[in-house]
Chains A and B, each alone.
Chain A
Amino acid sequence: MTNNTINKIRLVQGNEACALGAIKAGATFYSGYPITPSTEVAEHIANKFPRIGRHFIQMEDEIASIGAAIGASTVGHKAFTATSGPGFSLMQELIGYAAIAEIPVVIINVMRAGPSTGLPTMPAAGDVQQARWGTHGDHSIIAISPNSVMETYYETINAFNLAEQYRTPVLLMMDEKVGHLRERFEEDEANEPVIMYRPAPKEGEKFVPYANVECGVPHILPLGKGERYHITGLTHGETGFYTAQPKAVSKFVGRLSDKIELNVDKIAKIEENYTDDAEVLVLSYGSSARSAHEAVKTLREQGHKVGMVRLITLWPFHDAKIAALCEGKKAVIVPEMNLGQMAREVQRVAKGVPVLPMCRVDGDLMTPDEIIAKVKEVL
């Protein structure tokens, strides 16, 4: 190993990896409000952004934080904010604004146990259904749940890419354990991540900010660069102005969902291990998936036909793929740090297969042994 290689390997915390990912993704604007256990994201950005000429601001609350981020995005910046449960709750209205106005923005939620102030320094996955349904009205959303420091780095980049590509808010649903975990950090130099930018019209092409284009994602241009147009949180027609005309509204609201749901194959990342001949499946995500993976490995070593499915993308939920994976299994066990929020989704699609939630909401991590014991009950 050369010295140069060694220098590139570091011990990095999950929240720092998130900040590094945002920098790599080309984020130029951060606005946030301090909250445990996400604060290190803001601290790293406050430290690094000025060095590279980018913008950091600490706002008066989480609503202002996401508002400022969306504002910066409307004038062309890749913008993001980071928070945890209470702040995520406050942000919900403007997550909906970004969804309806189709403004790219990334929201990092380092989940802690709730409800309310809950267990501020302990992990949970209690916000995963809130991520899907937290804001009012119909729309789709993209939410990602990394389970390691390196994955946090790459999935933060992916979150920005998806936000730009689909003109939508993207939620990076970390949890306290992933956020505060320290692991080996080494970029894969052979595979430089692709960095994407929002779709702009070609030279001479007419710009219609909310065009009902076939791909579902109309072009977007920054405000203030010569193309004057209007952005609103009201339902709007193709030019961006308010409409209450039922046909136009129906088409528009439909497009907000379709542009994501119809691209689920491209968006949703699902990791599979030992699924080919598995009789029992363990499906998990985030920190719990680390324990689940360990449990499945041990069970395989003991000769049990157990498979592991990990959701890297929580939303959009890949109904068809999960249904296919569950088919014919003796049981599907879903360890998660909530009272069965994603297990409900699995139950919805796994027709006829027993789906057994495995829940923990006390702030402690699930151990591999607990999961092994649960799997052995059904083997």
Chain B
Amino acid sequence: MRPVYEKYFRDNIPHIWCAGCGNGIVMSAFARAIEKLGYDQDDVMVVSGIGCSSRMTTYIDFNTLHTAHGRALAFATGAKLSEPRLKMFVIMGDGDAAAIGGNHFIHSCRRNIDITAIIINNAIYGMTGGQYSPLTPTGKKATTAPYGNIDRAFDIVELSRGAGATYVARGDIYHAAQLTNQIVDAANHKGFSVLEVVSTCPISYGRYNKMPKPTDMMQYIKDNTVSVQKAATMTADELKDKIIIGEHFKIENVPEYTEEHNKLVAEVKKDYLEKLKGGAK
């Protein structure tokens, strides 16, 4: 596919991202995905929270809303419910989505509102310089876990499943072409779609965890990702510390929130108008 950057990127580059950061790969995959989906830019709204990845809304040419830390899904829910015709994407980091925004995340899963949530997971708070997040693996180092992280990490796939999401996939920045298709598939799913993108932060994560060069982190992702299909043939021991990529689950025919809402409003409105017409009857 030809690059589509000019069409979808605003001219306020240079961006803030460090060399070797994975955010740019996700951003270009996003642009290619929108091109594939054939969406009119005017109909696409992208909402983000706070963090390195959330700055993406500055650079891409859509209706963009850069909100507060953790709250992107709350803003997006209000916008989507009131204007369901908008194609709604939410870009969050791992801390943004799973820590401070965890409540909004599980409730968005539960409502099954037609939003595509892209969680760029670099396993660290990058913007603030490398503190552990709920997606930092146990034992890894961070500036706030200098002796190793004792916290257990969330598994976004299982968290989403438990909370009632109807579509969950995991991608990564090494498999950029697949990532484009995953964004397309997530967007095409009617309901709340979660796409976790395993990414890199060489500066604030890699340096503390024996992967100081961007290529070290890329190599790590390349070596440790296995597809959902292959994972099905592997034992739990073999899967330890592996990143399982691909579509984890997709549940069709679960009522979508804005449709249910509009159906209810239409019925109540109709009954009410009939009652008014009926007068004192």
Q: Which residues on A are within 8 Å of B, measured CB to CB?
A: 28-29, 31, 49-55, 57, 59-61, 63-65, 67-77, 79, 93-94, 97, 223-226, 228-234, 241-242
Contacts and interface: CB of A to CB of B under 8 A. Distances in A.
Given A50-B264, A51-B268, A55-B261, A64 B103 contact: yes
Nearest to A31: B78
A231 B66 contact: yes
B45 interface: yes
Given A51-B269, A79-B82, A230-B58, 5 more contacts: A60-B107, A67-B104, A75-B82, A93-B68, A223-B79
Interface string B44-76: 010100100000011001111111100100111
Interface in B145-175: none
Contact of A75 (B58, B64, B79, B268): B79
Given A29-B82, A52-B269, A55-B261, A74 B74 contact: no
A106 to B, nearest CB: 14
Interface residues of B, number: 40
B64, B79, B272: which has the most chain A beta carbons within 10 Å?
B79
B131 interface: no
Contacts, number: 138
Nearest to A76: B83
B74 A232 contact: no
10 contacts: A65-B74, A72-B83, A75-B45, A223-B79, A224-B43, A224-B83, A228-B62, A231-B66, A232-B66, A234-B66
Contacts of A232: 57-58, 66
Given A51-B269, A228-B41, A228-B42, A72 B82 contact: yes
A55, A64, A241: which has the most chain B beta carbons within 10 Å?
A64
B233 interface: no
The majority secondary structure among interface residues of chain A is mixed
Contact of A94 (B71, B82, B104, B265): B71
A70 B66 contact: no
Interface of B: 10, 12, 41-43, 45, 47, 50, 57-58, 61-68, 71, 74-83, 85-86, 103-104, 107, 261, 264-265, 268-269, 272
Contacts of A229: 63-64
Contacts of A29: 78, 81-82
A93 B47 CA distance: 17
Contact of B74 (A51, A52, A71, A225): A71
B64 A230 contact: yes
Contacts of A76: 83
Contacts of A231: 64-66
Contacts of B80: 71
Nearest to B79: A71
A73 B83 CA distance: 10
A57 B81 contact: yes
B65 A68 contact: no
A31, A50, A67: which has the most chain B beta carbons within 10 Å?
A67
A72 B58 contact: no
A60 B269 CA distance: 26
Contacts of A228: 41-42, 61-64
Contacts of B63: 223-224, 228-229
A253 B130 CA distance: 31
B265 A53 contact: yes
Given A50-B264, A50-B269, A224-B86, A241 B78 contact: no
B74 A68 contact: yes
Contact of B83 (A75, A230, A234): A75
A354 to B, nearest CB: 44
